[in-house]
Amino acid sequence: MPQSGAWSGNPQGGVSAPDPILIPDAATRFKRTAARLARLADGHPMVGWLLFLSNISQAQHEAAQTIEPSLPDADLIAKLSGAGMPPLAADGHSRDPVWLDGLHSLVARFSAASGMPEELAAVVADLDDCSDDELEAMADRFLGASVPPEEAGQALFIAAALQVYFTKLAAGLTPDQLNLLPERGLCPCCGSTPVSGLVTASGKSPGVRYLYCSLCSTAWNYVRAVCISCGQSGNVSVRGIEEESEAIQAETCDDCHTYSKAFYLAKDGEIDPYADDLASLGLDLMIADAGWARHAPNPLLLG
């Protein structure tokens, strides 16, 4: 769960009006997700997979402590944000090559591991053998949503490294440097889609929903019971699995036939918007079988 110091402008404390934008804390974001995934893995039917993702998140945490990407000029950030554009747009941002250092750190953690499944070992070996130009091209394909099927395994590591890079960039901003976008379902920092929504429980803004960016970890306020995909509210419903936690729900829209995840801190104060999304694939499967499509994929599910 977002705790004090986890995001600037934390939704759990302060005065009455909700902060429109929450800046990520790169020192805690991935460490918290790794710990939550490890806890959720205990007794989970996908225990091995969740532990692998916990290991990925821990590697992300370690990489985040070693890279310091350069932010664009403050005047350019102000100009883009003032024009209703994300200043670190994922599909237009000129990446600092330092992101590759984070990727190499991630891959090295798994290169040194023993007993990896053969398929995973092959992916790691392939990434080890790639030139920086090839890795940059893979990053462009991931950010352009054009990953070929044969590159799905590599894309997981590319996505993880880009999450570290963009989270570090976002952490260097302040909330007043960003504005909510005209298309409210997209991240005001990098323009990416959210991975899930978190509904606050107490303090400054109880009952307020924040969407959490799938790439840069920025969070922003979004009205509840309004579809993230189409912005309509007339045919939005909340659905869950009866035998599962009431803290995890899917918000479905019958106008555009999409859904998004909604997590409720009042029901489970330990929820992490990234870990709990990955651990609740059963809900995704149930909702998909009933005819709704997820509003956007989780980047770490491409592999």
In tens, the pLDDT along 12-25 reads 444 468 899 999 99
Q: Which helix (H) or strand (E) holds 238?
A: strand 236-239
Q: Token pair 């805690």 is at which residue?
A: 28
β partners of residue 209: 199
Which is more confident, 5 or 248? 248
In a domain, 183, yes or no: no
**pLDDT at res. 15:** 46
Q: How many domains does the chain have?
A: 2
Share the mean pLDDT of the chain. Answer: 90
Which is more confident, 202 or 104? 104
Give yes or no for a contact between 128 and 157, defined as CB atoms under 8 angstroms apart.
Answer: no
Beta strands 293-294 and 258-264 are: parallel
The pLDDT tens digits for 191-237 are 999 999 999 987 677 889 999 999 999 999 999 889 999 998 888 88
Neighbours of 291 (CB within 10 A): 10
70 and 173 part of one domain: yes
91 and 219 part of one domain: no
Distance, CA of 177 to CA of 91 (rounded, Å) = 20
Q: Token pair 């996908």 is at which residue?
A: 46
Q: Does residue 182 surpass a pLDDT of 90?
A: yes
208 and 251 part of one domain: yes
Tell me the residue range of the domain where 287 lies.
Answer: 194-301
Distance, CA of 106 to CA of 161 (rounded, Å) = 7
274 and 139 part of one domain: no
β partners of residue 211: 197, 220
Q: Which of 135, 110, 142, 138 is nearest to 124 (CA)?
A: 110
Domain C-terminal end among 177, 209, 231: 177
Overall average pLDDT of the 179-196 stretch:
96
Distance, CA of 299 to CA of 162 (rounded, Å) = 10
- pTM beyond 0.95: no
In a domain, 80, yes or no: yes
* Res. 242 pLDDT band, cuts 50 70 90: low
CATH code where residue 158 lies: 3.90.1670.10
Distance, CA of 71 to CA of 61 (rounded, Å) = 20
Distance, CA of 115 to CA of 113 (rounded, Å) = 7
148 and 232 part of one domain: no
211 and 130 part of one domain: no
φ/ψ region of 261 (left if φ > 0, alpha if ψ in -120 to 50, else beta) reads: beta
234 and 270 part of one domain: yes
Written as six digits, the tokens of 156 are 């997981």
